[in-house]
């Protein structure tokens, strides 16, 4: 297992980005919408990516307060057991201003499950539940894991708010880059609302009415709820595509 301490700053940054994204674009969800979102985005990835791709689903939110380090550890153990992720790959890290409890498990279905619980000096805490697969043949298992983790979060009185990230090699060459973005419109009726481009990358933000995060917290029907980026490797000229709902929170 990769040591946690050197990666702690990156983990906290990723969690913060996720909270910012979900706070800005969160919308009430109805039953079954989580799976529908993931299914739509997997269908898009089939259109524009090769079979070898990484898919990550992540929920991040505030969680129950705690009173001491021992209580934090006990609560962490209960949480990991609740998600059936109690394993030897469980660690508690203490820094100057926070505690971090992490449990992870690679299931027989090929899905990597991770629970990350962060406790702060004031007794507040943040809970992140993540599931990840690296091969297309494991996508169906990931969808089932999302259903299971949704029910597990709800059993903890936590309202799930899933972010989805899909990353893989593009099917088309760099001379047909716009074809990748046109397929998004064909599949999702995505409306472009912003674009950033530099020498090696293009990032486009969209509003997609068919995704459950179709309205922002303030009711803006044109709010961004999908981001797609294409990065061209300067050495190989191969393209990597990243899809993020409601935004990309990993390096693209």
**pLDDT of 188-241, one tens digit each?**
888 889 999 888 889 999 999 888 764 444 445 578 999 999 998 888 878 899
Which residues have CB under 8 Å from 126's CB, separation 6+?
15, 19, 60, 61, 62, 63, 117, 118, 120
| Angle at the Cα of 50 from the Cα atoms of 47 and 52, rounded to 5 degrees | 130
Distance (Å, whole) CA 58 – CA 55: 10
Instruction: Report the predicted TM-score, pTM, of the whole model to 2 decimal places.
Output: 0.81
Sorted by where each starts, the structural domains of the chain and their CATH numbers stand as 5-245 (3.30.2030.10)
Give pLDDT tens digits for 86-105.
Answer: 766 678 888 888 999 999 99
Q: Is 163 helix (H, G, I), strand (E, B) or coil?
A: strand
Take residue 96 and report the two structure tokens written for it: 């100057």
């Amino acid at each position: 297992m990769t040591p946690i301490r050197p990666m702690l700053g990156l983990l906290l940054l990723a969690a913060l980005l996720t909270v910012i994204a979900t706070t800005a674009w969160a919308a009430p969800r109805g039953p079954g919408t989580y799976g529908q979102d993931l299914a739509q985005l997997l269908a898009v990835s089939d259109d524009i990516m090769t079979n070898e791709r990484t898919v990550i689903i992540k929920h991040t939110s505030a969680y129950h307060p705690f009173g001491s380090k021992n209580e934090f550890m006990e609560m962490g153990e209960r949480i990991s057991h609740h998600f059936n992720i109690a394993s030897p790959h469980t660690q508690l890290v203490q820094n100057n201003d926070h505690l971090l409890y992490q449990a992870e498990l690679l299931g027989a279905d090929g899905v990597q499950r991770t629970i990350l619980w962060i406790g702060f000096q004031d007794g507040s805490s943040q809970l992140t539940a993540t599931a990840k697969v690296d091969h297309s043949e494991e996508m169906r298992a990931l969808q089932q894991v999302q259903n299971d983790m949704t029910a597990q979060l709800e059993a903890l009185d936590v309202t799930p708010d899933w972010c989805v990230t899909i990353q893989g090699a593009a099917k088309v060459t760099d001379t047909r880059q716009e074809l990748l973005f046109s397929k998004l419109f064909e599949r999702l009726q995505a409306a472009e609302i912003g674009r950033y481009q530099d020498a090696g990358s293009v990032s486009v933000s969209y509003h997609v009415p068919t995704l459950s995060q179709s309205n922002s917290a303030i009711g803006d029907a044109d709010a961004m709820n999908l981001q797609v980026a294409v990065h061209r490797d300067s050495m190989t000229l191969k393209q990597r595509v990243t899809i993020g709902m409601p935004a990309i929170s990993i390096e693209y």
